Amino acid sequence: ILIENSRSTLNDNTIRNNVASVHTVGQGGGILIFDSSHITLTNNAVVENVGSYEDLAIGGGIVWSYYEEYKNPGPAKGLISHNVISGNIAAKVSNTNGEGGGLAVFIHNYDAHNESLISIIANDIISNTALVSPTSSNGGFSGGLMVGGSGRYEFSRNRILSNTATGKSTDGILSSGGGVMIGSGHMTFDGDLIQFNQLGSRGNSSGIGFVEGGVITMTNVVIADNRAQSGGEGVAIYNGQVTMMHPTIVRNGERGVFVHFDEHNTYPISPSHVTVYNAILAGQNTGFVVSRTQTLTVDGVLWHDTNFAYVGEPGAIITINNQVIGDPRFAADGYHITEDSAAIGAGVPLIDVFTDIDGNGRLSPPSLGADEYLPFKQVLPLILKE
**pLDDT given at position 175:** 44
**pLDDT given at position 379:** 34
Q: To the nearest whole percent, how much of the chain has pLDDT over 70?
A: 79
Query: Which residues lie below 8 Å from residue 380, measured CB to CB, with a gap of 6+?
Result: none
Residue 124 is assigned to a structural domain of this protein: yes
Check pLDDT > 60 for residue 385: no
**Residue 35's domain spans which residues?**
2-231
CA 304 – CA 264 distance, rounded (Å): 34
Residue 259 is assigned to a structural domain of this protein: no
201-217: pLDDT as tens digits: 555 556 777 766 678 99
Residue 16 is assigned to a structural domain of this protein: yes
Q: What is the DSSP string of 242-253?
A: EEEES-EEEEEE
Instruction: State the pLDDT confidence band at 340, using cuts at 50, 70 and 90.
Output: very high
Check pLDDT > 60 for residue 168: no
Check pLDDT > 80 for residue 292: yes
* pLDDT (mean) for 190-195: 96
**pLDDT given at position 99:** 73
Pick from 380, 383, 343, 350: which is nearest to 364 by CA? 350
**pLDDT given at position 240:** 83
* pLDDT (mean) for 323-348: 96
**pLDDT given at position 23:** 67
User: Over the Cα atoms of the chain, what is R_g?
Assistant: 21
Residue 171 is assigned to a structural domain of this protein: yes
CA 202 – CA 175 distance, rounded (Å): 7
Residue 78 is assigned to a structural domain of this protein: yes
Question: Which helix H or strand E contains 240, and what residues bound it?
Answer: none
Instruction: State the pLDDT confidence band at 261, using cuts at 50, 70 and 90.
Output: confident
More confident residue, 194 or 96: 194
Query: Which residue type does 280 have?
Result: I
Check pLDDT > 50 for residue 377: no
Check pLDDT > 50 for residue 384: no
* pLDDT (mean) for 223-252: 87
* C-alpha dist (Å) from residue 32 to 61, 173, 245: 9, 28, 34
**Structural domain count of the chain:** 1
43-52: pLDDT as tens digits: 999 999 988 7
Q: What is the torsion angle, in degrees rounded to the nearest 10, for the CA atoms of residue 19, residue 21, residue 27 and residue 33?
A: -70
Residue 246 is assigned to a structural domain of this protein: no
**pLDDT given at position 381:** 46
**pLDDT given at position 236:** 85
81-130: pLDDT as tens digits: 999 999 998 877 655 666 778 899 988 876 655 578 999 999 999 999 88
Residue 94 is assigned to a structural domain of this protein: yes
